[in-house]
Structure formats: C-alpha cells, structure tokens
A and B are shown apart, each in its own frame.
Chain A
Amino acid sequence: KAGVTQTPRYLIKTRGQQVTLSCSPISGHRSVSWYQQTPGQGLQFLFEYFSETQRNKGNFPGRFSGRQFSNSRSEMNVSTLELGDSALYLCASSLGGGDTDTQYFGPGTRLTVL
C-alpha cells in the first residue's frame, strides 16, 4: 500500500506571496492532519480534516487554511507569506482520526520564504 505523499517536496517563495501544498493520504484513510516543524518551535499542529470537514484547529493565524476533497486528498494554503513561515510542513493520515489511531506521516514539503 502506498504511503502518504506530499507535493511539492521543496518550495521557494518570497514574502507576500501565497503557497498551496498538497497531501494524498494512504488509501482508505479519511483523516488528514497538518503540522509545521521548525527548529525553534518543534512540531506544531495546524489542523485536521475528516470527511471534508475541519475537525480540529491549532493556534495559527487565519493566513493558514486548508481543505479536504471527497477523495480525502487535502491541501493547505498559506497567504501573505512571512519569513517565519519557513518550515517543513508535514501531512499525516489515519483511518478515522480517533484517539487510538496511528498517524502516518508523509515526507514533508520544505518551504523557504525569502
């Protein structure tokens, strides 16, 4: 079974631009979560989608948004990029997103904002 895939793997943008990242979950998984990883803040939860609905949201500004499609694929968007948005963005999928479910992570998208 194929793992979680994320595209693109690397992105370079300039301040003020916007960016869209894509995540395809493991087949049959309906929950997709997004995380931001930085050296200073570690792994921080952005949001989780299940059946096209945002079920949980982390403490990030409204510039960060996401959505999920009927095939469970998910996208996240960051508008008006800031230098501090440079990070590794990780997507994780799980069967139903329940408390005991294991999340399986993709390789991440490395975003650099200049």
Chain B
Amino acid sequence: AQSVAQPEDQVNVAEGNPLTVKCTYSVSGNPYLFWYVQYPNRGLQFLLKYITGDNLVKGSYGFEAEFNKSQTSFHLKKPSALVSDSALYFCAVRVSNSGYSTLTFGKGTMLLVSP
C-alpha cells in the first residue's frame, strides 16, 4: 500500500520569507510524486512532479521541491513567499510498478502568508 503524510496541518510564514511545506511518503517501489495547490472553492492546480532524474524539481509560480530517497521526503519550497500563495497544498504519490496505479493524496497543509 502507498501512503503520504503531511505532518503539518498549517504553516504560517511572513511575506518575503522562504517557505517549506513538508511531505513524506511510504511506498513499496519507486515513487512518482506530485504537488497540487487548491484555492477556496476551486479544484486542484498542478504545481510540479518528480518522476526520475534530478532530485530538485522546479514548478509553477516559483515553487520547487526536493526528492530525498533516503528520508522518503518530497518537501515543497519557495524562496520568497507571497500573500497570494496562501492556499491548501496537497502532496500525492503513485507507485511505478503497476502501470496505471491510483494517485494517493496527503491530508493537505494550509499555508498562510501574512503581509
């Protein structure tokens, strides 16, 4: 079975400061990892994904994430937070050994960026 943990329900950061939203995963096989963001009353927007290769993945809106196999983590980062980044962030995982596996999501982390 595959699972994703987002250990923080909420992350607070001041505008201009760096932000990190944590994600750890548990799979039996090679993981494919995704980050999505959800604004109020909206669907999920794709930010970035890790498939293979370089452990640092760059995505939309200045976000990036680092894949760490030994720590089974895929933390989302941004060097300088904006108030408009305030939203609900989801980490998700798939396992590479089944061809058409389902996407498993974490519970989500609310990011609040204060002016």
Interface residues of A (CB under 8 A from B): 4, 6, 33, 42-43, 45, 48, 50, 55-56, 58, 90, 92, 97-100, 102-108, 110
Contact = CB atoms under 8 A, between A and B. Distances in A.
Contact of B43 (A33, A90, A102): A90
B51 A90 contact: no
21 contacts: A42-B108, A45-B102, A56-B100, A56-B101, A56-B102, A98-B99, A99-B99, A99-B100, A100-B32, A100-B51, A100-B96, A102-B34, A102-B46, A102-B49, A103-B46, A104-B46, A105-B44, A105-B45, A105-B46, A107-B41, A107-B42
A43 B105 contact: yes
B103 A33 contact: yes
A74 to B, nearest CB: 15
B45 A58 contact: no
Question: Which of B32, B36, B41, B100 has the largest number of chain A CB atoms within 10 A?
Answer: B100
B101 A99 contact: yes
B36 A105 contact: yes
B33 to A, nearest CB: 11
Interface in B42-83: 42-46, 49, 51
A87 B26 CA distance: 27
Closest 6 A-B residue pairs measured CB to CB?
Answer: A105-B43, A43-B105, A105-B44, A107-B43, A42-B107, A100-B51
A45 B93 CA distance: 13
A69 B34 CA distance: 28
Contacts of B101: 56, 99
